[in-house]
Amino acid sequence: MQIKDLELKLEFFKENGYLILEDIYNDEECNEVVNHAHQVLGPSDDLTPLMNIHKSSEIIQKFMSNKKLLNFINSYFQDTALGLQTEFFFMPPKTVGFNPHQDNTYVKASSDSFISAWCALTDVDKNNGGLIIWPKTHNEEALETVDTGLSKHDNQDPNATIRKTVVPEQYNKESPIIKKGSVLLIHSWLVHASNTNNSDNNRYALLCTYLKEHTDFRSGSYAQRVPFTLDDTV
């Protein structure tokens, strides 16, 4: 990434709270992660997302350490990025989407010291469970959340539907098309959600989160976040 191009991307991200980095991974790298997740899952038919799959996987740690991705994140932090958490989504057909939420509601890191990288492992759009974003909502920082009265849905994260963030009316939502191998970067306070998967195929994605070195955060009883170093020379 050229310096001028990087500066423009950083400016866009800071203004809008999100950025799509195109073609970060090739087909082989995406397929390797998907195949690995199925190996970890084994014969189970419970397709609830796999939390922190990186903890026992050099494949996932290598994937997170992508040089192009870390170049942007380190530049945004103006410091060294640590890996923090991963979650692999199988999202089979008819899986309901995630309610509107802000990732930093759970992590509680300082505003510009935490970032999420949502990696598309197949082509993703509105029909097959693609993300919904509310650009510029990161400027609001922490927003009100309310209970929905719903319970966990099949094949979805336990936190996906039980609460939701109240989005101020002035913000409009978008459902970006994200190509396989591209990455949607999400500011710690950007409100986002996902659509229900109305296609006939799984919508594979890997969520990778990163923390600025020496930043305080909440580990969480479910996520059990533990920072770890990344090697972008592999």
Q: What is the CATH number of the domain that holds 160?
A: 2.60.120.620
Nearby residues of 98 by Cβ (< 8 Å), 6 or more positions away: 156, 157, 160, 161, 193, 194
Assigned domain for 231 exists: no
Assigned domain for 148 exists: yes
pLDDT at 152: 85
Q: Given pLDDT bands bounded at 50, 70 and 90, which one contains residue 151?
A: confident
- Give the chain's domain count: 1
Assigned domain for 229 exists: no
Lowest mean pLDDT among 30-34, 139-143, 147-151, 167-171: 147-151
What number of CA atoms fall less than 13 Å from residue 231's CA on the CB side? Answer: 7
Assigned domain for 230 exists: no
Q: Are 190 and 116 in contact (CB under 8 A)?
A: no
pLDDT at 41: 96
Q: What is the mean pLDDT of residues 39-58?
A: 95
Dump pLDDT digits (tens) for 180-229.
999 999 999 999 999 999 999 999 999 999 999 999 999 988 888 999 99
Question: What pTM does this model have?
Answer: 0.95
Assigned domain for 225 exists: no
Owning domain of residue 127 = 3-212
> Left if phi > 0, otherwise alpha if psi is -120 to 50, otherwise beta: which for 214?
left
Q: What is the mean pLDDT of residues 42-60?
A: 95
Assigned domain for 218 exists: no
Assigned domain for 87 exists: yes
pLDDT at 234: 58
The closest alpha carbon to 60, from 29, 98, 96, 26, belongs to 29
